């Protein structure tokens, strides 16, 4: 158990993430309830999208002195939620959601995620790694995780997708990480996991969607290259953006060197997005996200 894990176990907190149509009194109702239940707010942030008329809030509370059980706490909150037509999620800092990594041949994101899991940096359970190639079986199994090879060929495409879907469902997966998976997920997978599939695209979207974005960037002569972590939707590279980052490049860099430089960005931005999601910091509305700090 890492120090971070030990810390989390000793001082459990609950994070409340919610949104609803804006109207006066929401914040007062929420904070009053949290106070009555004996919790203490450690950090809170709320925001109103004035144009869209939506209220967003994230509250992190210490629950050491919670009056009653967690179930009672949640049931009580559901009453408030209903009166404001709220959608909400509560996450305990001790929870460990179940995660699946999808990858292909390129290893940098998967190596990085495996290292973070080995170091206890990600508060989640890694259920398995699946890939359409065998390339990353060895590092996955060496790190002690299950690996599933799901080869794709034109003839079996639908069958492969169905196998993947079942694997995700049978393993009670809460979050799917596309760590440079390079395959489009079909609607029947995407629809099962709304705002639960994170993809890393190797460009600063909406610039350079589609394939070979570093080569596109090189051809256009941009002075910065970027990467984008976003929730997967059926429309390729168009889902809600969670995190983006860029790095400076010059005329000296060949497309191959852009690929090299981009690798570090991809691993970091994907890891940041995964952590933000697991820490209950991300709310999706329309095709956008609110990412609380």
Question: Is there a catalytic annotation at residue 191?
Answer: no
Cα 27–196–120 angle (5° rounding)?
Answer: 90
Q: How far is the CB of 207 from a copy of itself (least distance, A)?
A: 4
Q: Which is nearer to a copy of itself, 28 or 155 (CB)?
A: 28
Q: Which is nearer to a copy of itself, 86 or 168 (CB)?
A: 86
Q: How far is the CB of 280 from a copy of itself (least distance, A)?
A: 15
Q: How far is the CB of 228 from a copy of itself (least distance, A)?
A: 8
Distance CA(1)–CA(17), nearest Å, equals 27
Q: How far is the CB of 245 from a copy of itself (least distance, A)?
A: 7
Q: Which of 49, 71, 153, 237 is catalytic?
A: 237
Q: Which is nearer to a copy of itself, 38 or 186 (CB)?
A: 38
**Burial of 18: CB neighbours in 10 Å, binned 0-12, 13-18, 19+:** buried
Q: Which is nearer to a copy of itself, 151 or 206 (CB)?
A: 206
Q: Catalytic positions, please?
A: 237
């Amino acid at each position: 158990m890492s120090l971070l894990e030990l810390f989390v176990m000793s001082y459990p907190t609950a994070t409340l993430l919610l949104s609803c149509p804006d109207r006066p009194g929401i914040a007062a109702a929420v904070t009053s309830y949290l106070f009555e239940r004996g919790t203490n707010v450690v950090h809170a942030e709320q925001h109103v999208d004035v144009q869209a008329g939506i209220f967003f809030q994230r509250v992190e509370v210490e629950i050491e002195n919670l009056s009653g059980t967690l179930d009672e706490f949640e049931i009580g909150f559901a009453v408030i939620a209903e009166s404001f037509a709220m959608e909400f999620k509560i996450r305990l800092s001790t929870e460990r959601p179940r995660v699946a990594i999808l990858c292909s041949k390129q290893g940098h994101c998967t190596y990085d995620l495996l290292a973070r899991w080995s170091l206890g940096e990600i508060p989640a359970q890694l259920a398995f790694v699946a890939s359409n190639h065998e390339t990353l079986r060895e590092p996955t199994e060496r790190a002690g995780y299950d690996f599933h090879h799901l080869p794709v060929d034109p003839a079996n495409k639908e069958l492969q997708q169905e196998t993947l879907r079942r694997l995700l469902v049978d393993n009670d997966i809460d979050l799917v990480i596309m760590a440079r998976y390079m395959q489009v997920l079909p609607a029947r997978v995407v629809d099962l996991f709304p705002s639960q599939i994170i993809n890393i695209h190797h460009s600063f979207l909406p610039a350079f969607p589609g394939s070979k974005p570093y080569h596109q960037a090189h051809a256009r002569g941009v002075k910065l290259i970027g990467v984008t972590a976003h929730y997967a939707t059926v429309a390729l590279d168009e889902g809600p953006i969670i995190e983006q980052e860029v790095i400076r490049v010059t005329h000296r860099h060949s497309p191959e060197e852009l690929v090299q430089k981009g690798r570090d960005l991809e691993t970091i931005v994907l890891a940041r997005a995964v952590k933000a999601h697991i820490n209950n910091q991300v709310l999706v509305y329309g095709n956008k996200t609110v990412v609380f700090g």
